[in-house]
Amino acid sequence: MTEPEEGRTAAGAPSPETPLFEARGIIKKFGDFAANDDVGLTIRAGEKHALLGENGAGKSTLVKMIYGVMQPTAGAFYWQGQPTVIHKPAEARALGIGMVFQHFSVFDALTVAENIALALPPQRMRDLARRITEVSEAYGLAIDPRRAVHTLSVGEKQRVEIIRCLLQDPRLLIMDEPTSVLTPQESEMLFRTLDQLAAEGCAILYISHKLEEVRALCDTATILRQAKVVAHCDPRAETALSLAEMMVGSEIGDVEKRGETTAGEVRLKVDRLDLPSASEFAVALKDISLEVRGGEILGIAGVAGEGQSELMEALIGEVAVERNDAILIDGQPAGRANPTRRRRARAAFVPEERNGHGAVGDMTLPENIILSHHSAEGLARGRWLGSWLDFAGAADWARRVREAFDVRSGTENPVATSLSGGNLQKFVVGREILREPGILIVNQPTWGVDAGAATVIRRALIDLAGRGTAVLVISQDLEEIFSICDRIAVIHHGRLSRSYPVAEMTAEKVGLLMGGAHPESTEITDVEAA
Amino acid sequence: MENFIISMIIAATPLLLAATGELVAERSGVLNLGVEGMMLVGAVVAFAAANSTGSGTLAIVAGAAAGMAMALVFGVLVLSLMANQPATGLALTIFGIGVSGLIGQAFVGVALEPLPKLAIPVLSDSTAAGRILLGHDAMVYLSLALVAAVAWFLARTRPGLALRAVGDNHDSAHALGYNVIATRYAAVMFGGACAGLGGAYLSLAYTPMWAENMTAGRGWIALALVVFATWKPGRVLAGAFLFAAVTQLQFYGQDWGLPVPSQFLAMAPYLATIIALVVISRDVNLTKANAPACIGRPFRAER
Amino acid sequence: MILLEPRPQPSRALTLLSPVIAIALTLVAGGLLMAAMGRAPGQALYVYFFQPIHEFWFWLTLPADQAAMWIYTPAEVVVKAIPLALIGAGLAVCFRANVWNIGAAGQYTLGAILGGWIALSAPEDASGLWLVPYLLGGVLAGMAWAAIPAFLKVRFNANEILVSLMLFYVSTQLLDFLVRGPFKDPAGYGFPESRDFGAGLIMPVMVEGTRLHYGVVLAVVACVALWLMMGRTLKGFEVRVIGAAPRAGAFAGFSRARTIWFVLLLSGGLAGLAGALEVSATIQQLQPTISAEYGFTAIIVAFVGRLNPVGAILGALVLGVSFIGGENAQIALKLPKAVTGIFQGMLLFFLLGCDTLIRYRVRLAWAARA
Q: How far apart are CA A414 and CA A158, in angstroms?
A: 37
Q: Give residue C108's pLDDT.
A: 98
Which of B76, B100, B281, B285 is the best residue to mutate to test the C interface, defined by the most C CB atoms within 10 Å of its own CB?
B281
Which chain B residues touch A88 with a CB distance below 8 Å? 177
Which of the residue ranges A1-15, C100-114, C267-281 would you say has the lowest mean pLDDT?
A: A1-15
Q: Which residue has the higher pLDDT, B31 or C210?
A: B31
Q: How far apart are CA B142 and CA A180, in angstroms?
A: 52
Work out the end-to-end distance of chain B between its first and last CA atoms, rounded to an integer number of angstroms: 61
How close is the nearest chain B Cα to the Cα of A405, in Å? 32
Axis crossing angle, helix B218-228 with helix B2-27, rounded to the nearest 10? 70
- Helix (H), strand (E) at residue A173: strand A172-176
Q: How confident is the model at residue B303 (pLDDT cuts 50, 70, 90)?
A: low
- Among C307, C254, C268, residue whose Cα is nearest residue C108: C268
**Amino acid in the structure at residue C196:** D
Tally of CB atoms within 10 A around A16: 6
HSE-up of residue B292 (Cα within 13 Å, Cβ side): 29
Q: Count the alpha carbons within 13 Å of C226 in the hemisphere toward its beta carbon.
A: 32
- What whole-number percentage of chain B has pLDDT above 90? 67
Inter-chain contact B168–A279, Cβ cutoff 8 Å?
Answer: no
Instruction: Write the pLDDT tens digit of every residue in C182-207.
Output: 999 888 888 899 999 988 899 998 88
Question: Is the pLDDT at A245 greater than 50, yes or no?
Answer: yes
**How many angstroms separate the CA atoms of A7 and A93, rounded?**
8
Q: Work out the average pLDDT over C157-175.
A: 95
Residue numbers in A near B164 (CB within 8 A) = 107, 109-110
At A1 the pLDDT is 40
Indicate if the pLDDT at residue A15 is higher than 60.
no
Please judge whether C251 and A411 are an interchain contact, meaning their C-beta atoms are less than 8 angstroms apart: no
Determine the residue type at C155.
Answer: R
Sign of the torsion angle spanned by Cα atoms A392, A393, A398, A403: positive
Distance, in Å, from the CA atom of A304 to the CA atom of A284, rounded to the nearest integer, reads 14
Structure-model confidence comparison of residues A324 and A15, the more confident one? A324
Nearest of B288, B270, B184, B268 to residue B220 by alpha carbon: B270
- Cβ <8 Å between B277 and C346: no
Q: Are A92 and A85 within 8 A, CB to CB?
A: no
Flag the least confident range among A391-395, B17-21, C161-165, C328-332.
Answer: C328-332
Residues 6+ apart with CB under 8 A from C226: C89, C90, C92, C93, C266, C309
Q: In degrees rounded to 5, what are phi and psi of residue B33?
A: -80, 5
Q: What distance in Å separates residue A92's CA from the closest CA in chain B? A: 10
The pLDDT score that the predictor gives to residue B64 is 97
Q: One-letter amino acid identity for A202? A: C
Sheet of A228-233: strand order equals A97-100, A172-176, A203-208, A48-53, A220-225, A228-233
Distance of CA C212 to the CA centre of its chain: 17
Which whole number is the average pLDDT over A345-361? 94
pLDDT in tens, A277-333: 887 778 899 999 999 999 999 999 988 788 999 999 999 999 989 999 999 999 999
Q: If DSSP states are collapsed to H, E and C, what string results for A340-388?
A: HHHHHCCEEEECCCCECCCECCCCEHHHHHHHHHCCCCCCEECCHHHCE
Query: Are residues A275 and A285 in contact, defined by beta-carbon separation less than 8 angstroms?
Result: yes
- Would the pLDDT of B95 be above 90? yes
> How far is the C-alpha of C178 from the C-alpha of C175, rounded, in Å?
5
What is the rounded CA–CA span in Å between residue B94 and residue B36?
A: 9
Phi, psi of A118 (to 5 degrees): -65, -25
CB pairs under 8 A between B and C: 145
By the 8 A CB rule, do A315 and A439 touch? no
Using a 10 angstrom Cβ sphere, with 0-12 exposed, 13-18 middle and 19 or more buried, the burial of residue A404 is: middle
What are the pLDDT digits (tens) for C300-357?
999 999 999 999 999 999 999 888 888 888 888 888 888 888 999 999 999 999 998 8
Using CB atoms within 10 Å of the CB of residue C305, give its burial: 0 to 12 exposed, 13 to 18 middle, 19+ buried.
Answer: buried
Under 8 Å between Cβ of C115 and C279: yes
Q: How far is CA A380 from CA A384, A429, C242, C258, in A?
A: 10, 21, 17, 19
Q: What is the DSSP string of B229-279?
A: TTT-HHHHHHHHHHHHHHHHHHHHTTTTT-SS-HHHHHHHHHHHHHHHHHH
Contacts of A101 in chain B (CB under 8 A): 172, 175
Q: Give B217's contacts in chain C (Cβ within 8 Å).
A: 165-166, 169
* Helix or strand holding residue C32 (H, E): helix C12-36
Number of Cβ pairs < 8 A linking chain A and chain C:
87
What letter would DSSP give residue A123? -
The pLDDT assigned to C97 comes to: 97
Chain B residues with CB under 8 Å of C346 CB are 95
Bridge partners (DSSP) of residue A348 are A440
| A117/B158 CB distance under 8 A | yes
CB proximity list for B176: less than 8 A, separation 6 or greater = A4, A89, A105, A118, A119, B165
As a whole-number percent, the residues of chain B with pLDDT over 70 amount to 97
β-strand partners of A26 = A39
Q: How far apart are CA A247 and CA A268, in angstroms?
A: 38
pLDDT digits (tens, 9 = 90+) for B215-252: 999 999 999 999 999 999 999 999 999 999 988 887 78
Residue C257 pLDDT: 96
pLDDT at A6: 39
Q: Are strands A48-53 and A220-225 parallel, antiparallel or unpaired?
A: parallel
Per-residue pLDDT tens for C99-121?
Answer: 999 999 999 999 999 999 999 99
Find the residue in C nearest to A341 (Cα): C253
DSSP string, A42-88: EE-TT-EEEEEE-TTSSHHHHHHHHTTSS--SEEEEEETTEEE---S
Number of CB atoms found within 10 A of residue A102's CB: 16
Q: What is the pTM of this model?
A: 0.90
Pairwise CB contact (< 8 Å): C338 & B287: no
User: Are A71 and C233 inside 8 Å of each other by CB?
Assistant: no
Alpha carbon of B207 to those of B43, B111, B210, B253: distances in Å?
A: 11, 10, 8, 19
> Using the 8-state DSSP alphabet, how is residue A139 labeled?
T
- Tell me, yes or no, if B99 comes closer than 8 A to chain C by beta carbon: yes
- Residues A306-319: b if buried by 16+ CB within 10 A, e if exposed: bbbbbbbbbbbbbe
pLDDT at A132 over 60: yes
CB distance from C163 to chain B under 8 Å?
A: yes
More confident residue, C178 or B124: C178
Q: Return left, alpha or beta for B257; rule: phi > 0 is left, psi -120 to 50 is alpha, else beta.
A: left
Helical H segments across chain B, by residue range: 2-27, 35-53, 56-75, 85-104, 123-126, 128-133, 138-156, 158-168, 170-175, 180-201, 218-228, 233-252, 262-281, 284-290
Q: How far apart are CA C294 and CA C341, in angstroms?
A: 11
Nearest to A371 among C229, C232, C241 (CB): C241
Rounded to whole angstroms, the Cα distance separating A529 from A523 reads 10
Amino acid at C248: A
Q: Is the pLDDT of residue C151 over 50?
A: yes
- Given CB atoms, is B285 within the 8 Å cutoff of chain A? yes
Residues of C contacting chain A (CB within 8 angstroms): 5, 8-10, 229, 232-235, 237, 240-241, 244-245, 247-248, 250-253, 255, 369-370
- The length of chain C, given as a count of residues: 370
Residue A71, min C-alpha distance to chain B (Å):
6
Q: DSSP character for A322?
A: S
Q: What is the pLDDT of residue A524?
A: 39
Subunits close to A (at least 3 CB pairs below 8 A) = B, C
Contact list in C for residue B91 (CB cut-off 8 A) is 300, 345, 348-349, 352
CB C140 within 8 A of CB C170: no
pLDDT category of residue C37 using cuts at 50, 70 and 90: confident
Please give the Cα distance from A407 to A166 (Å, whole number).
Answer: 44
For A34, which DSSP code?
A: E
Of A329 and C55, the one with more pLDDT: A329
Residue A10 scores a pLDDT above 50: no
Which residues from A are below 8 Å from B171, CB to CB?
103, 105
The model's pLDDT over A307-317, given as tens digits with 9 standing for 90+, comes to: 999 999 999 99
Backbone angles phi, psi at A287, to 5 degrees: 55, 50
- Stretch among A208-222, A336-350, B139-153, B221-235 having the lowest mean pLDDT: A208-222
Check: CB of residue C275 under 8 Å from CB of residue C111. Answer: yes
Cross-chain Cβ contact C344/B273 below 8 Å: no
Instruction: Residue B76: list chain C partners with CB under 8 A.
Output: 353
Mean pLDDT score, C40-62 = 80
For the residues B19-23, what does the mean pLDDT come to?
A: 97
Is a pLDDT exceeding 80 seen at residue A397? yes
Using DSSP bridges, classify how beta strands A327-329 and A266-275 pair: parallel, antiparallel or unpaired.
antiparallel
Average pLDDT of the segment spanning A434-440 = 96
Which run of H or E residues covers position A271?
strand A266-275
**Residue in B closest to A68 by C-alpha:** B177
Residue C274 CA, chain-centre distance (Å), reads 9
| C-alpha Rg value of chain C to the nearest Å | 22
Report CB contact under 8 Å: B168, A107: yes
